[in-house]
Every structure is written in C-alpha cells, then in structure tokens.
Amino acid sequence: MNKRLTYLLKFSVIHAGILLYFILFSVSSFSQDTKTLFKTANSYYKSKQFDEAGHFYLLVIAKDKNNVNAYFNLGNTYYHLQKYPEAILYYEKAKKLDPGNKYIDKNLSLTNNKLFSKIEFSREFFVTKYSKNFLNSRSSNQWSHWMLACLWLSSIFFCFYFFGKSTLSRKFGIILFLLSLCFGYLTYFRYKQEKVSEYAIVFLDKTPVQRTPVASSKITDSLQAGIKVKLTDRDANCWIKIELPNGKEGWVQHAALESI
C-alpha cells in the first residue's frame, strides 16, 4: 500500500513538474514574442518608416492589450503620418491605462491643437474643469493606494492616542481618517468612470448629430473627426447617444465612432 502511494505521489509530482514547465515556457515565449515585435516596431519608427512601424505596434497590441508603450508609440506613429484622429484614439487608450503620464497628456494636447485650435471645446466653469482634471490625474487603483495609506496611518495614530493619550495623535488620526474618506470618494468615482462610462473618438468627418435616433430627424450639429465624446445611451438600430465636451447631447450612427 505504501509503495503504491509513493508511486502515485511521484507520478503526480512528475506530471505537475511537466505541466509547470510548459506553462512557464508558454509565458516566456509569449513575452519574448511581444518584445521582439515591439523592438521591430521601434526600429521602423526610428528609421521613420511609419507605416511599417504602425503595423508592428498593432501586432503588439493584439497580443498585449495592456501595453501602454505600444499604444503611446502607435499614437506617435499616426501623428507623424498626419492621421490625427487615429493618433488621438491611441493616446486616449494609453491614457486610460496610465492616466498620470505627462508625456501622453503633452502629445494628446499637441494633437488636439492640430485639429481643434479654432474650436471651443468646453464652456465648463474653471473649477469644474480643474476638478475633473484632478480626478483624472490618477487611476482608481492609484487613488485606492492613497486611501489605504491614509487609513493605515490614521489607525497607527489612533493607537498612539489610546495607549499614550496624546491629543496631537488624536488630531492627526482624525485628519488622516478624513483624508482616507476623500481618497475613497475619488477611488469610487474614478472606478465608475473607468468601468461604467464609455468614451469614443469621432472618426468620420462632418458626422451629423441628430436630435433623435431617426435618419430623418433634425441635425443639430456636425462633428469634426478626432473629437472625444461620451457614450450615454444606445439604440437597437445602431444609433448611439453622445455627450459632447461642451455638454450638448445628440444621436450619431455607430459607424462614425471608435471606442476608446
């Protein structure tokens, strides 16, 4: 009985080892393949062969949907090809993964200025505008780190207060606890924005914005390619309700948009 048990254990260990080897080999091959494609894309980019570079960056993204550098470099590639709506789309995709990246923000702003230097994007009150920029400066994951850090530090100061009766520790504990609530609020709304809210880039120039999801309805506006819009509703007949940067709303055909 003991020999049989020993045999079964050895058999299991050997098969587990083989399985683990193939898993690690597959992960390593995938990583190496992605790195090779990315290096090839960068080589084409450096030699200013932007069409070829764009092709390889798309291959990288097809294998790794969370590769921020590939999205960013693809945005740069389209910028050099003067395909500004495409550049904006991939900068926005990169920003979604790394919202605090100043290089992405800089290139996105530069590209927007190429297209919309004479267009008024938004009439938001400056306090609202800066509040949104502050919220979007970090991902929900990054805001949650701040929340947990403040909560942890507040618990330490409360311990000092309970065991040492230090009034100063109690004040610091209360302040840090309130800050953790603020960061929790930011975490919740940023997460909601990332997971619930959907955004898209208008890809067809002079896209008509209509009052209702009917082809014969009144056209209220016409959109230039490259504008970022918020998706607020959908219709069964391929119509999508959008919200423009200035707060106006309307319906457009799904084919005119590319989701971020």
Give residue-wise pLDDT tens across range 40-62.
999 999 999 999 999 999 999 99
Residues 143 and 187 grouped into a single domain: yes
Last residue of a domain, one of 84, 116, 148: 116
Residues 102 and 140 grouped into a single domain: no
Quickly count: other Cβ atoms within 10 Å of residue 123's Cβ: 10
Q: Which helix (H) or strand (E) holds 199?
A: strand 198-202
The model's pLDDT over 145-179, given as tens digits with 9 standing for 90+, comes to 999 999 999 998 888 888 877 788 889 889 999 99
Residues 14 and 101 grouped into a single domain: yes
Residues 158 and 248 grouped into a single domain: no
How many whole angstroms separate alpha carbon 95 and alpha carbon 114?
19
User: How far is CA 171 from its chain centroid?
Assistant: 37
Task: Note whether residue 122 is domain-resident.
Answer: no
Residues 147 and 49 grouped into a single domain: no
Quote the number of domains for the chain: 3
Give the range of the structural domain holding residue 150, as residue numbers without chain letter. Answer: 128-195
At 24, phi and psi to the nearest 5?
Answer: -65, -35
User: How far is CA 31 from its chain centroid?
Assistant: 22
State the pLDDT at residue 256: 94
At 236, phi and psi to the nearest 5?
Answer: -65, -20
Residues 93 and 31 grouped into a single domain: yes
CATH of the domain at 26: 1.25.40.10
Classify burial at 252, counting beta carbons within 10 Å of its beta carbon; exposed 0-12, middle 13-18, buried 19 or more: buried
CB 164 within 8 A of CB 219: no
State the pLDDT at residue 195: 66
CB 34 within 8 A of CB 62: no
Q: Which of 68, 57, 60, 52 is nearest to 31 (CA)?
A: 60
Last residue of a domain, one of 195, 220, 238: 195
One digit per residue, the tens of pLDDT, for the chain of length 260 reads 445 545 444 544 454 445 444 444 444 444 558 899 999 999 999 999 999 999 999 999 999 988 999 999 999 999 999 999 999 999 999 998 888 789 999 999 999 998 886 554 555 545 556 676 677 777 788 889 999 999 999 998 888 888 877 788 889 889 999 999 999 988 888 787 666 568 999 999 999 999 999 888 999 999 999 999 999 888 878 899 999 988 899 999 999 999 98
CATH of the domain at 239: 2.30.30.40
Given the structure tokens 């058999």, which residue do they identify? 11
The beta-carbon contacts of 72-75 under 8 Å, at least 24 apart in sequence, are: 72/101, 72/103, 72/104, 72/107, 73/41, 73/42, 73/45, 75/104, 75/107, 75/108, 75/111
